Every structure is written in C-alpha cells, then in structure tokens.
C-alpha cells in the first residue's frame, strides 16, 4: 500500500485517506449550492404540497449559515490526516503543543459519521421508492436534485473511514500492519 507523510504527522497517512479528506469539502459542495436558492424562496422545481406562505425573515441567513457550517464541518475532517489533528495548535489556550488524545478525535468523528449516515441514508431509499420521495415538476429538476444531493450520502461513510484510519495510525496498529 502506498503511503505518504503529511506535514508533521507522527505516522504516514495512507494516500486514500489523504485524498478522501481533501475531496470531502468538494463532495458536499453541490448539496450546499443546491440549498442556496431555497433561501430566496425559489423552489427548484419542487411541487409544493404544503401551501406554505412567504418565507420567514430568518430563512435566508439560516440557509446560508447552514451551507457555511456544512463546509466548515467537512473541512474539520482534514484534522484526521493532518498534524493539527495530533498536536493542538499554538493558538489553542492551555492545550497548545500537547498531544491530542486519539479518542478525543475518534469519538466525535465516529458519532458525527453515524449521524450523517442517519441524516443522508434515506436519500437512496427514496430514489428506489422504499420511502416517499419529493415531487418535482419535471424529470430535469429531479435529476438535478439527485446529482446535487447524491454525493452528500457519502459524507458519513467517508468520515467513518477516516476516523478508522486515524485510530489505526495513532494507536500503533497501523505500524504493525504495514511491516
């Protein structure tokens, strides 16, 4: 297996983990972009069956904030393949320069990955008719929705895989497996 050292990590990071961590913000970006027109009450071809009235005043900042938060959380997974995920940066008060306990990164990553699997796991089920799907005015809007939101279904499994690789690398089982 090809491995490359990344920055100042204690053990080399597997190439697949580095590539996945760097790609993850781009994997969720189409979902974030798909969400933005809804902030301006543009329905993106959805057939509105609820008959809701005008958007509340807070909808626009909420949708933009949710998209920014989504990208920020996706960027945090870079800590699982970077030195700042192993040693606290200098700007962190009281902890600067200390080693990050492996479980302090693994537990939130695994819990987050499981939550993401739960949040986005229903998308493929809806596509295959197992659960109810959204109604669109035509097939083009449906296809655009699937293209934009489909990659987000990978966010949870990618996070879980990166957490597993981080755990193996930080706890020594990675070294013994590569010798």
Instruction: Show the low-confidence residues of the chain (pLDDT under 70).
Output: 1-7, 49-53, 128-133, 173-179
Instruction: Tell the burial category of 44 from Cβ atoms under 10 Å away from its Cβ (0-12, 13-18, 19+).
Output: middle
Tell me the backbone φ, ψ of residue 86, rounded to 5 degrees: -115, -30
Q: What is the pLDDT of residue 16?
A: 95
The domains of the chain are located at: 3-45+55-178
Judging by DSSP bridges, how do beta strands 13-14 and 3-4 pair with one another?
Answer: antiparallel
Strand partners, 176: none
Q: Mean pLDDT, the chain, as a whole number?
A: 85
Terminal alpha carbon distance of the chain: 11
Q: What is the per-residue pLDDT across 7-40, written as a single tens digit (0 to 9) for each?
A: 577 788 999 999 999 999 999 999 999 999 988 8
Q: What is the pLDDT of residue 18?
A: 94
Q: Find where tokens 């902030």 sit.
A: 39
- Model pTM? 0.84
Sequence-ordered strand ranges (E) for the chain: 3-4, 13-14
């Amino acid at each position: 297996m090809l491995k490359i050292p990344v920055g100042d990590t204690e053990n080399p990071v597997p190439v697949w983990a580095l590539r996945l961590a760097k790609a993850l913000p781009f994997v969720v970006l189409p979902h974030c972009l798909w969400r933005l027109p809804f902030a301006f009450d543009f329905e993106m071809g959805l057939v509105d069956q609820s008959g809701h009235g005008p958007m509340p005043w807070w909808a626009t900042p909420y949708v933009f904030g949710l998209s920014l938060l989504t990208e920020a959380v996706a960027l945090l997974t870079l800590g699982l393949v970077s030195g700042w995920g192993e040693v606290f940066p200098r700007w962190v008060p009281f902890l600067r320069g200390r080693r990050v306990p492996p479980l302090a990164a693994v537990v939130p990553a695994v819990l987050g990955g499981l939550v993401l699997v739960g949040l986005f796991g229903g998308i493929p089920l809806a596509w295959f008719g197992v659960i109810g799907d959204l109604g669109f005015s035509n097939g083009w809007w449906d296809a655009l929705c699937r293209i934009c939101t489909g990659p987000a279904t990978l966010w949870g499994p990618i996070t879980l895989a990166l957490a597993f690789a981080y755990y193996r690398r930080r706890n020594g089982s990675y070294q013994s497996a590569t010798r």
